[in-house]
Amino acid sequence: MEPNTLLDSVLDEAGVSHAGLAAHVNEAGRARGMKLRYEHTAVARWLKGQRPRGQVPDLICEVLGERLHRALTLDDIGLGTPGSVRGPATPLSGFVERATALWRSDEQQRPHVVEAPAVTGTPAVIPVWEWENPPEDSDVSRRGLTRVSMTDIETLRAARAHYEQMYRKAGGVATRTRVVGFLNSEAAPLLRGAYADDTGRQLHRATGGLVAIAGICAYDSNAHGLAQRYFHQALRLAKASGDRGLGAYVIALLVNQSLFMKEYRQAVAFAESALRAAGSQITPALAADLYAMQAKAYARLGDGVGALSCIRRAETAADRIRPGQEPDETGYVQPGLVNIQVAEALLSLGDLGGAREHATAAVGTPAHDRGRVHRLAMLTHIELRQGEADRAGATAVEMTERARGMESQRLRDRLRAVREHLAASGSAATAEAAELIDGALRVPL
C-alpha cells in the first residue's frame, strides 16, 4: 500500500486529530442513517494506504471540507478511483501536490511514510515504464503567485551540489533532514509558482536532482520505501524536464536499490530501459555504471556470459569518460568505481583472482571517504576468501578508520558484514580489526 500523504496533509491543515476525524465521520454517517464506529486506529490505517469502504471517502471529504471552508474532491485527499494510475498526461499540478505532501510528511517524521515498505512487482515497474514511453509533457508552464527566475533555479542547483557533498562526508542520516527541509521551504513554493514552459523545464530538472539526493539519503537511512518514492518522484520530474539523461541517472539509483533488495531481474530490466530510452543523451560515466550494475545482477543470477559481456561494455564506456563533459549528477562515477563493481561481479562468479585484481586497483585509486570505505570492505572480503587473514585485518582497520563520523545505515551494515567475515575466519590476526569495528558500531546514529 502507498502511504496517503495527501490525506495526512489535509488533516494537518484542518487541525483535526486522528480521533477527531473518526468521531466526525461517525457523526456525518449517522446523519445519513449509517452506523459507523470508527476510532483513531482506522484513520491510521487510512494514512498507511487502506481505502475506507462505501461512502466513507465522501464523508471524509465532507468533514474536512467543512473545516477548511472549501470543497474537497476524492483526489484532493488521495482517495480517488482505486486502481487508476496517474500517467504523464495528467497535469503536473496534481503531481506537485502529491510530491510536496510527501516531503512535508517526511520532514514531520510521519511513521506511515518513513516506515513504509518498498513496493514490488507492477507498482515498482510502472514509473519506469511511464518515463520511457509517450506521452511527453507538451507544456509545463504554470500560473502562480510568485514568478520563478533563473536565480531561483541556480539556488536549487547549488543546493543539490551542497547536499551531495554533505552526504558523501557525513552520510545520509545527517543529510536527509536538511535536504528535505530545503525541499519544503524552498523547492515546494517554486513548483507552485509562475513560470513559462522553458523555465518550468529547468525548474523541474533542478528539483529532480534535489529529490534524487533526498532519495539517496533515505536509502542510506534504511528507509527503502521512502527512498523508492523519492526516486519515482525524481523520475517524474525528469520526464517533465525533457532531460532523458537525468531520467537515466534516476533509474541508475533504482537499479542500485533493486540490487540491494535482491531484485536482480528487475535491476537488469531497469538498466536496459535507461540505456535504451536515454540513447545519445546517456553519458559514458552513466553507461559505465549501468553496465557494471547489470554485470553484478547477471552474476547473482548465475549468468556468467551476460555478466562478462556487461563487464566489457562497462570497461569500454569507462575508457570514454571525460570529467569536464559530464553533468553534475554523474560525479559519483569516480575512477575506480567500475573496478569495484566488476570485482563484486567476479566474486559472485567465483573468480577470486580477477576480483582481487580489480578491488586492488579500485583501492589504489583516489576516492572520497565514503567510496573508499566500500572499496576497502570488498577488498577485505576477497582477502579473507583467499585465506590472507593478516592482510584482511589491516585492510579492515583502514576501512573502519575511514568510516568514523559518518551517519550512514548502509555503512554500518557494511561494517557488520565485514565484522561477521572477520569472526568467521577464526584467525587471531583479525581480532584487532573486529574489536575496532565493534567500537565504531557502538556509536549511536
150-201 per-position pLDDT tens digit? 999 999 999 999 999 999 999 999 999 999 999 999 999 999 999 999 999 9
> Model confidence at 13, in pLDDT bands (50, 70, 90)?
confident
Half-sphere exposure of 444 toward its Cβ, with a 13 Å CA cutoff? Answer: 0
Over residues 423-437, mean pLDDT:
88
* Concatenated DSSP letters of 134-184: SPP-S---B--SSB--HHHHHHHHHHHHHHHHHHHHH-HHHHHHHHHHHII
What is residue 9's predicted lDDT score, i.e. its pLDDT? 84
What pLDDT digit, counting tens, does each position of 342-353 carry? 999 999 999 999
Residue 279 — left, alpha, or beta (φ > 0 → left; ψ -120 to 50 → alpha)?
left
Q: Please, is 385 exposed, middle or buried when counting C-beta atoms within 10 Å of its C-beta (0-12, 13-18, 19+)?
A: middle
What pLDDT digit, counting tens, does each position of 434-445 carry? 999 999 999 887
Mean pLDDT of the chain: 92
What is residue 89's predicted lDDT score, i.e. its pLDDT? 40
Domain boundaries along the sequence of the chain = 5-76, 244-356
Half-sphere exposure of 175 toward its Cβ, with a 13 Å CA cutoff? Answer: 31
- Tell how far CA 410 is from the center of its chain: 13
What pLDDT digit, counting tens, does each position of 321-362 carry? 998 899 999 999 999 999 999 999 999 999 999 999 999 999
Over residues 411-434, mean pLDDT:
90
Highest mean predicted confidence (pLDDT) among 62-76, 115-129, 292-306, 429-443: 292-306
What is residue 71's predicted lDDT score, i.e. its pLDDT? 82
- Tell how far CA 162 is from the center of its chain: 18
CATH code of the domain made up of 244-356: 1.25.40.10
> Model confidence at 85, in pLDDT bands (50, 70, 90)?
very low
What is residue 82's predicted lDDT score, i.e. its pLDDT? 55
What is residue 81's predicted lDDT score, i.e. its pLDDT? 67
Nearest to residue 167, comparing CAs of 439, 417, 371, 374? Answer: 371
Over residues 367-387, mean pLDDT:
94
> Model confidence at 112, in pLDDT bands (50, 70, 90)?
confident
What is residue 67's predicted lDDT score, i.e. its pLDDT? 87
What pLDDT digit, counting tens, does each position of 41-72 carry? 999 999 998 999 888 999 999 999 898 888 88
What pLDDT digit, counting tens, does each position of 86-102 carry? 444 446 778 898 899 99
Query: Quick one: how many helices (H) and strands (E) in the chain?
Result: 22, 0
Q: Residue 83 pLDDT > 60, yes or no?
A: no
What is residue 204's predicted lDDT score, i.e. its pLDDT? 98
